[in-house]
Amino acid sequence: MFKNYLFTAAERFMRYVQVDTQSDPQSAASPTTEKQKDLSRLLAEELKQMGISDAAMDEYGYVYATIPATTKKKVPVLCFCAHVDTAPDASGTGVKPLFHRNYQGADIVLPDDQNQVLRLKDYPYLERLKGHDIITASGKTLLGSDDKAGVAEIIDAAHFLMTHPEIPHGTIRILFTPDEEVGKGTAKVDMEKLGADFGYTLDGGEVGSLEDETFSADAVQLVIHGVITHPGYAKGKMVNALKIAADVLAALPRAELSPETTDGKQGFIHPVRVDGLAEKATIDFIIRDFVTAELKVKEDLLRGLVEQVMEKYPQAHFDFNVTEQYRNMKEVLDQHPEVVDHAKEAIARAGLKVKMESIRGGTDGSRLSFMGLPCPNLFAGEQAIHSRLEFISVQDMNKAVETIVHLACIWEERSKNQ
Ligand SMILES: [Zn+2]
């Protein structure tokens, strides 16, 4: 169906990455940086020019748009979603995208910082990109393929569908969000206004990959209350909360259940912050596992360790507070197997091998899934993200566009006649 069609995602991508959209974890505003709206505004404008009349950015920098249905069948409303912001890890100011035609495996030295060299041996995925056209930044900034690749691919798929009304598909909603990189991508999303049944984020790496699983996540705050007295007259009375905190940290498992000693499907207990005075100390933990019920097991283990330590300090006491952070999206997706099945079929129709993956973290998709929009993550082609060596293949981007279009068709094909 796409034989003679030239996708233009890369051309769009080269423009979008030049707009600085870095988000700011320190800011309490929505969006956290005003400059994210520069891109959102541009995207809404481009969608409008394609004839998508309702495309608009809201006050928080979210873009909503609708590709109208071209079928009489009743098809679930799909949402394709990507984020406009880039990570605070590396500068996003003055990004100069460079196009490297027909990559053959040679080192790519980035011209603005000769120490930044993209080498095949460091990034084995490059082996698969021989013969592809690659885009990198120039050495001083990140590229921003995370997630402007997803943005460009969705826009390009929208353009394709709007110029090919003969292709039957249901109503498609487009959503671009700010602040994903600082964990607030879904903070101001209006689910009612979005009005979609199922969603796909385009924010993954390797071509063909499909992520339907994330961690489940809780936070634990441990507050240790010591006993304070004048230190000159403290004998037999003072109980120092800082020393108890140190004992708790020393008692934590090291060889297992830690981020630095686990991978794959293993979870962990991870202290992320210590704060305190002799009188009172606080330790913040994050607890992670793919199985939600296992969070409780890990929390009980942690509480047991704390109780053991506290036995040595009968005058002291503690509070142990658990808060839910997010849940494994698979719990929701398993109730709607067609969402992942159709994505697998779309990837296969694009001529790719499906690679199912789990994310050792959370995504906007996991939050959206529990907000009522089952939403796995599709590949967008982004590589070496959050770094100055970030790169992406033009051909991978085109495969993502193709996958989006196939998905729209598959949902229509597999829906019943009205
Ligand atoms: Zn991302």
For residue 271, what are its two tokens?
A: 């202290």
- CA distance to 198, 273, 337, 366, 408, per residue, from 411 (Å): 10, 46, 13, 22, 6
Tokens of 68: 């109208």
- Write out pLDDT tens, residues 125-167: 999 999 999 999 999 999 999 999 999 999 999 999 999 999 9
Helix %, strand %, coil % of the chain (to 5): 30, 25, 45
Reference 397, options 147, 102, 180; nearest CA is: 147
- CB neighbour burial string for 138-155, b if at least 16 within 10 angstroms, e if fewer: bbbbbbbbbbbbbbbbbb
What gap in Å lies between CA 37 and CA 171, rounded to an integer? 26
Residue of 324 and 416 predicted with greater confidence: 324
Mean pLDDT across 67-84: 97
Listed in order, strand segments (DSSP E) in 170-294 are 172-177, 198-204, 209-214, 216-225, 268-276, 280-289
Q: What's the 92 CA to ligand 1 centre distance in angstroms?
A: 14
The alpha carbon of 146 and the centre of ligand 1 are apart by a number of angstroms equal to: 5
The alpha carbon of 366 and the centre of ligand 1 are apart by a number of angstroms equal to 13
* Residue 1 confidence (pLDDT) above 80: no
Question: In the annotation, is 113 catalytic?
Answer: no
Residue 99 token pair: 């196009």
Q: How far is the CA of 333 from the centre of ligand 1 (A)?
A: 20
What is the SS3 assignment for 78?
strand
Strand-pair partners of 286? 219, 270
Q: Tell how far the Cα of 217 is from the centroid of ligand 1, in angstroms.
A: 19
pLDDT tens-place string over residues 333-350: 999 999 999 999 999 999
Q: Which of 20, 147, 156, 180 is catalytic?
A: 180
Assess whether pLDDT exceeds 60 at residue 4: no
Ligand 1 geometric centre to CA of 311 (Å):
45
User: pLDDT grade, residue 197 (50/70/90)?
Assistant: very high
In the reported structure, the alpha carbon of residue 273 is separated from the centroid of ligand 1 by a whole-number distance in angstroms of 25
Quick one: how many helices (H) and strands (E) in the chain? Answer: 10, 17
Q: Which member of 85, 147, 212, 412 is catalytic?
A: 85
Residues 6+ apart with CB under 8 A from 352: 207, 208, 399, 403
Burial class (CB in 10 A: 0-12, 13-18, 19+), 253: middle
pLDDT tens per residue, range 266-283: 999 999 999 999 999 999
Look at residue 3 in the predicted model and tell me its pLDDT: 56
**What is the rounded average pLDDT for all residues in the chain?**
95
Is 85 marked active-site?
yes
pLDDT the model gives residue 250: 97
